[in-house]
Amino acid sequence: MLHVTIDKKLQEKMGKWYSKPLYRKLVQRCIGREHYSCEKRMKRFIYSSTSNDSSMSMEEEEEMKQVVSANIPNDVLVDMLSRFPARALMRLKCVSKNWHSVIQDPVFVNLHLTLAKETGMGLIQILDDTGFRIYSIDDFGFATELHSLVTDNSYPHVPSCNGLLCFLDSSDDMLSFLDNSKEIRIRLCNPITGETMTITKPYCFRRKTAGLGYDTCSQKYKVVCCSESEVEVYTLGSEFNSWRTIKCPSGFSINFLEKPIYSHGNLHWKASLSDHANGFQQCAIIAFDMSDEKFSLFKGPDINIMNGNHWLCELEGSLSLVQTYEKKVILWVLKDYEEQEWMKKSVYRLPFYPSWPEGFMTIRNNKILFESHEDECDYVCHYDEQGQLLKVIKVTGLPSSFKNYIDNHVKSLVSFK
């Protein structure tokens, strides 16, 4: 049973409602970290008038009805609901009109997203056979299916942004995006809310890389496709529903195989700068501002990107770079975005050799989910703050045959509109 200490200020805000046993149980059990059994524990306390759970007494049912129908202070309700897992909130919208209104409110959605990021990104696995089946992997290696979508043949290509997934769907395979003769569709979805969207292909047919990001000024999400000479931008939820073309500035060369990462209002691609004095390739970052739609360039960690494998990710709200060499994993974090100050945060050692790392490994809260090259199985490794391996858990609950893609993901209520 999960018991979480409730902040005294929140208790004071709750007033007499905190003294009610059932309400106290509801808050104590449901405010806190999310894991796979959370929904089972909440069922008993969420559904009042529609509950068929014989283990809930008539007195408890009546008390829950009173709690739900009571005029609970709105700030208390927002504070309480913001701590619930996103999937539970989708069910809680049915409790009452007021709860539905609170949970749908954009201000609440942003608050919930902020708290979800602070508590750690979720691990998500995207499988491709007859379509997409999206699984959430918890800290104990248990896989839970979140969303499925049947397509002819699809392959996830774009890292998630604020809980939204963007992927490319073609009539052939993942390399079709590089083939001018293939028709491309871009699909988006939120696996928690079930919202999906399909947008038209970009105008240019040359090699390109795609990214999904958020414009903090217009408060709109944008899909960005880059080729060698131009950039195309599609603003989701706009009245035009079309691609806009932006000229690429001279001096920028984006590797179309790199997957851009959204962080701090920018999309980021890993690049390189030649250090002729030391004879190696210095890591650099190309940033595309989602608001003013302009490019910039800044230095990455002080490493030679010719050694090992490297890719970008966002961890706990910070742009990060993962460096792998054989079984060693080094995590670099952009500690100060304005000053462009990088810090080597952690060094981990994997128990097995990983598969091709980018797209087959992710890190969060000193835990690594990766695919082993040795047996092609997935594992969750737990480490302490010093990077020492504590335990290795084999992932269960996945189909035996699949194409694998792993991504950092936060479970959110965010909409494209």
CATH code, domain with 197: 2.120.10.80
Percent of the chain with pLDDT over 90: 22
Within-domain flag for 206: yes
Within-domain flag for 269: yes
Within-domain flag for 164: yes
* Angle at CA of residue 278, ends 274 and 279, nearest 5°: 55
CA distance 197 to 125: 20
CA distance 128 to 154: 7
Q: What's the structural domain count of the chain?
A: 2
Q: What is the DSSP string of 212-260?
A: EEEETTTTEEEEEEE-SSEEEEEETT-SS-SEEEEEPPTT----TTSPP
Q: Is the domain of 99 the same as that of 127?
A: no
Q: Is the domain of 91 the same as that of 150?
A: no
The DSSP secondary-structure symbol of 200 reads P
Q: Is the domain of 84 the same as that of 46?
A: yes
Does residue 34 register a pLDDT over 60? no
CA distance 335 to 142: 32
Q: Is the domain of 46 the same as that of 154?
A: no
**What is the span of the domain harbouring residue 95?**
8-104
Q: Is the domain of 137 the same as that of 76?
A: no
Cα first-last separation, the chain: 38
Which H or E run includes 315?
strand 309-315
Q: Which one has a higher pLDDT value, 360 or 136? A: 136
Q: Which two three-digit tokens encode residue 227?
A: 């080729």
Q: Which two three-digit tokens encode residue 93?
A: 């919208």
pLDDT band at 31 (very low <50, low <70, confident <90, very high): very low
Q: Is the domain of 245 the same as that of 337?
A: yes
pLDDT band at 226 (very low <50, low <70, confident <90, very high): confident
Encode pLDDT of 391-405 as tens digits: 999 988 887 766 667
Whether the Cβ atoms of residue 271 and residue 284 lie closer than 8 Å to each other: yes
Q: Is the domain of 205 the same as that of 326?
A: yes
Domain boundary among 78, 104, 130: 104
Q: Is the domain of 128 the same as that of 13?
A: no
The helix/strand/coil state of 371 is strand
- What does each C-alpha distance from 256 to 77, 154, 303 come to in angstroms? 46, 18, 22
Q: Is the domain of 74 the same as that of 198?
A: no
pLDDT band at 108 (very low <50, low <70, confident <90, very high): very high
Domain boundary among 104, 126, 156: 104
Domain boundary among 53, 80, 104: 104
Read off the pLDDT of each residue in 93-104 and give the average, rounded to a whole number: 86
Within-domain flag for 416: no
**Buried b vs exposed e over 318-348: b needs ≥16 C-beta within 10 Å?**
bbbbbbbeeeebbbbbbeeeeeeebeebbeb
What's this model's pTM, rounded to 2 decimal places? 0.78
CA distance 291 to 179: 30
pLDDT at 1: 32
Whether the Cβ atoms of residue 266 and residue 293 lie closer than 8 Å to each other: no
φ, ψ at 124 (rounded to 5°) = -130, 140
Q: Is the domain of 154 the same as that of 62?
A: no
Question: Angle, to 10 degrees, between the axis of helix 58-69 and the axis of helix 21-30?
Answer: 80
Encode pLDDT of 165-210 as tens digits: 887 765 444 444 445 555 567 888 898 898 988 888 777 655 567 8
